A and B are shown apart, each in its own frame.
Chain A
Amino acid sequence: MTSATATAAVAVAPPARSTFGAFVRRHPTVMIGGALLLVIVLASIAAPWLGTVDPISIDPSHRLRGPSADNWFGTDRFGRDLYSRVIYGGRISLIVGLSVAALATLIGLAIGLVSGYLRAVDAVVMRVMDGMMAIPAIMLAIALIALSKASVLIVIVAVTLPEVPRVVRLVRSIVLTIREQPYIEAATAIGTSVPRIMLRHLLPNALPPLIVQATYICASAVLIEAALSFLGAGTPPEIPSWGNIMAEARPYFQLKPWMVLLPGVFLAVTVLAINLVGDGLRDMLDPRLARRM
């Protein structure tokens, strides 16, 4: 008995490993994206141990220095170490990206499930979603932030709001195609409750595309947070974020372009990495879509 299980395990294991290997070989970009993202995440978490100093400590005698052994990226107009600010700035981007992806997906999932399954709610909800989608995401976020005291929480809420309709539409369209399937009819016929049908039958079907969508939302949230902070309507200036580091360096761009470009490169690489992971997940979870895109 034991030996039979062992043989079975051995027989099963190699193909599993080779499919992973084959996948990696077929999608080298996913590996690059995933590896980059891992490095960025680890760097943000381990920021205090990466040769950084306090990113908000001011040193007026060392203002606007060029890159040197002490200050790898130079210093800003208050003499703060730019390298430390950029490394710590990644934390804000990742926190906002992950929170928005999680929040928008959960809220959108709830609204989408209900809207797709209950005809009565559907018409009203979808008109509201259409209206929200007509307002450009950045403008919606700007309007909310202009009326609130600047904080990271407000940024998260303001970036989440315009992303919700996209999730609702996705979930709803999946629910609409699945609800006509015979097994849903069967479930209803044997008296399964509506919440149970949603959780046991509709949710598992919506999950794979939803995970892919969440990745793209994460990338878009990182971009919007940076844009908002760059415009002065995002993360408060006392917390370093890539957007506000770039904004503060703008007056010195012609003489010291690296002050603007370095945080920009970090931002671009992060968004690129998240998008590459998203593309990879899409190829893995939804091969049909992968061929079309």
Chain B
Amino acid sequence: MHVFLIRRLLAAVPVIVVVTIFVFALLHLAPGDPAAIIAGDLATAEDVAKIRAKLGLDQPLLIQFFTWIGQLVRGDLGNSIFSAHPVSELIGQRLEPTLSLTLMTLFISVLLAVPLGVIAAWRVGSWIDRAVMGFAVFGFSVPGFVIGYVLIWLFAIELDWLPVQGYTPLSKGVWPWLSNILLPSITLALAYMALIARITRAAMLETLSQDYIRTAHAKGLATEDVLRRHALRNAAIPIVTVIGIGVALLIGGVVVTESVFAIPGLGRLTVDAILRRDYPVIQGIILVFSGAYVVVNLVVDMLYTVLDPRIRY
């Protein structure tokens, strides 16, 4: 197990390195002079020079890169051009809303999508199956911000059950927090659920055709037990894998959903940073999001050995 752990961690290193180089290179690959674009249309040559110096763009490329990496290793993501606050501090302040949103989404999605996929596979070809598959295509096609506005219109404006927008920290009580986070989580969950339900159904169809399932039925096990303990257990690997891969989808959705529901999280920070062309902040957020993606998928890889003891690395 330890050997496997270390090997997996080492395998994640090149991915992180590529991400860092990429994020660094973006600043230089972009057409035109980034300092001039960040400074805006009204800037004087002096302003542009100041920003160039601030970003270290006047240094040789290699020195820029190693200065940047050196700071990164020490956890320093640089300072915001707009507010001069450290980027890591800005990100830290916005973490709770985004974590609440993503964890709630994950909870809702897995809780609903896995059973839906199981039932669809169990009753393959039935109206339930067709409804689940139809939902999957729908959930994948309708953009988050459209669903978000439909939900706001229905539940917040017409029915007036939940607040329209905003975020209340968990420390102010569970219900105020939940009432604010519910609609955005459902919005975000739809695409994710579509993905998970589809893969669950496919994986279950595969295992349900195995001989040991017939045996389990033949020896008189209750259908529920067969589905849960024999079929789902063996279909778990692809399901867990797609939950991990889907985190990328989730992160993209967070940016848009937070914007629709005015949640002051990392997504909102991103949008504000775009409008101000605050590049260090954008760089920092990309690194945090990509890091989260890599870590989640690392955890998924480790879950493999728990879910299927036959897998040894």
Contacts and interface: CB of A to CB of B under 8 A. Distances in A.
Interface string B272-301: 011101010011011001100110000000
Nearest to B273: A146
Interface residues of A, number: 49
Contacts of A267: 143, 146
A261 B153 contact: yes
Contact of A144 (B30, B256, B285): B30
A218 to B, nearest CB: 12
Interface stretch (B10-18, B88-96, B99-107, B175-183): B10-18
Contact of A135 (B22, B255, B270): B22
B259 A231 contact: yes
Contact of B149 (A128, A261, A271): A261
A292 interface: yes
Contacts of B21: 131
A231 B145 CA distance: 10
Nearest to A129: B18
B143 A130 contact: no
B282 A272 contact: no
A127 B286 contact: no
B18 A231 contact: no
B30 A246 contact: no
Contacts of A264: 143, 145-146, 149-150
A135 B259 contact: no
B202 interface: yes
Contacts of B273: 146
B142 A131 contact: no
Give the secondary structure class of A's interface. Answer: helix
A143 interface: yes
Interface of B: 14-19, 21-23, 26-27, 30-32, 34, 37-38, 137-138, 140-146, 149-150, 152-153, 157, 164, 198, 202, 205-206, 248, 251-252, 255-256, 259, 270-271, 273-275, 277, 279, 282-283, 285-286, 289-290, 293-294
28 contacts: A29-B137, A128-B18, A131-B17, A137-B252, A138-B251, A138-B255, A139-B251, A139-B289, A142-B255, A144-B30, A145-B274, A146-B274, A146-B277, A147-B30, A147-B277, A148-B30, A219-B141, A227-B143, A246-B149, A253-B153, A261-B149, A264-B146, A268-B141, A268-B143, A271-B143, A272-B137, A272-B138, A275-B137
Interface of A: 29, 127-128, 130-140, 142-149, 154, 219, 223-224, 226-227, 230-233, 246, 253-254, 257, 260-261, 264-265, 267-268, 271-272, 275-276, 279, 292-293
Given A146-B282, A226-B143, A272-B138, 5 more contacts: A136-B251, A136-B252, A146-B274, A231-B256, A232-B271
